[in-house]
Amino acid sequence: EVPIVESGGGLVQAGESLRLSCAASGFTFDDYAVGWFRQAPGKEREGVSCISVSDGDTYYSDSVKGRFTVSSDNARTTVYLQMDGLTPEDTAVYYCATSTRPSFYYSKLQARYFGGWGQGTQVTVSA
């Protein structure tokens, strides 16, 4: 499993933006898809977005499509989640994780197809 670390969370007001980072420690994401998930209190973990780092294919849940953008840096050691137009419903702990499965699986944005979970970063959006 790939050790990864999320950062960039914080407290913002509705309508503002945040950029989360998911950094690989001692590895590159060349051979992985990297997914972003979130979990709000009392709710199940929800898939938000995913990127196949090698070819740049991206996937989004309907709840964030058009507001969030996933990307990777040129070194392929960091994946970003740009979050615009945040709402209180986006409040959650955000996690990143990796997958080596074929796109048929990781494109579903289901946590069971991912591993190597980071510790998470809290995003709080006030009304």
- pLDDT tens digits, 40-66: 999 999 999 999 999 999 999 999 999
Average of per-residue pLDDT values in the chain: 95
d(CA 15, CA 13): 6
Q: Which pLDDT value is given to residue 1?
A: 54
Alpha-carbon distances, residue 86 vs 43, 80, 119 (angstroms)? 19, 16, 22
Q: Exposed e or buried b for every residue in 103-126, given b needs 16+ CB within 10 A? A: eeebbebebebbebbbebbebebe
- For 69, other C-beta atoms within 10 Å of its C-beta total 16
Q: Which pLDDT value is given to residue 94?
A: 98
Q: What is the mean pLDDT of residues 75-85?
A: 97
Are 20 and 83 in contact by the 8 Å Cβ rule? The answer is: yes
Give the confidence band of 27 by pLDDT, cuts at 50, 70, 90.
confident
- pLDDT tens digits, 86-104: 999 999 999 999 999 999 9
